[in-house]
Amino acid sequence: MSEINIYCDESNHLESDDKPMVLGALYCPRSKAATINSRIREIKTEHGIPESYEIKWTKVSKKYIQFYFDLISYFFDIDEIGIRVLVASKKGLDHKKHGQSHDDWYNKMYFQLLTKVIQSESTYRICLDRKDTLGKERVNKLREVLCNKEFDFKREIIKEIREVHSNQVQMVQVIDLIIGAVQFNLCSKDSEKENQAKRQIVEHLKKKSGRTLTVNTLPSEFKFNLFFWEGNGKK
């Protein structure tokens, strides 16, 4: 069995925020993870950026624009790396009707994100960006439902799901950048006042992915899989 690492992050998960929640997963063979991390550090060095610099969408500026271009290009040029992004609309959510809390819905969206990535012929170790102090319970529940879906009752397919601090895991930082760009493309007004560096990164991502970032890809798409989830029973 091949062993796969999955690195996940989310944006706008709060119920009070009317923007769509965006979840992202970056996956690669576990055997390639050290090489990929090393290359990220090299790209930072090439642009005069400290290795400790945390890659975050909220920190994007013109100063490091070429760095972000090169980073995105690297991830799309490596065959073994795949990305899946789920955009979940909060419009029309009725948690009471479905007997769930907002956290329950959040977990269901994470299930939708990961279930298309996980295949029974491989094993997986999953890193989630730390969300809050309730993470352990949430992680345990997510592993339970994913294992049940794969009939992985001995926990042999999904070997581990754990929370990490994004400033310590570079590939979680990269997926933060990707989902930030997807959300910006959906929610920005494309005006002169918007962050032009972010707009440039969005356009670079569109070019490298060959996607508009506004419609679903095929469910089988490996390199850049994009799925829009709608409430009111629409999926």
Domain ranges for the chain, please list them. 2-229
Nearest to 119 by CA among 6, 10, 23, 235: 6
Instruction: State the virtual CA torsion across 234, 105, 20, 87 in degrees, nearest 10.
Output: -60
Q: Say how far apart CA 157 and CA 118 lie, in whole Å.
A: 9
How far from each other are the two terminal CA atoms of the chain, in whole angstroms? 32
Mean pLDDT of all residues belonging to the chain: 89
At 5, list the tokens.
């690492």
Q: pLDDT at position 42, please?
A: 96
How big is the chain by its Cα radius of gyration, in Å? 17
91-95, 142-146, 197-201, 228-232: which is most confident:
197-201
Specify the pLDDT at position 234.
46
Overall CATH class of domain 2-229: alpha beta
Among residues 114, 172, 170, 174, which one has the least CA distance to residue 147?
114
Average pLDDT over residues 77-94: 90
What is the longest distance spanned by two Cα atoms in the chain? 55
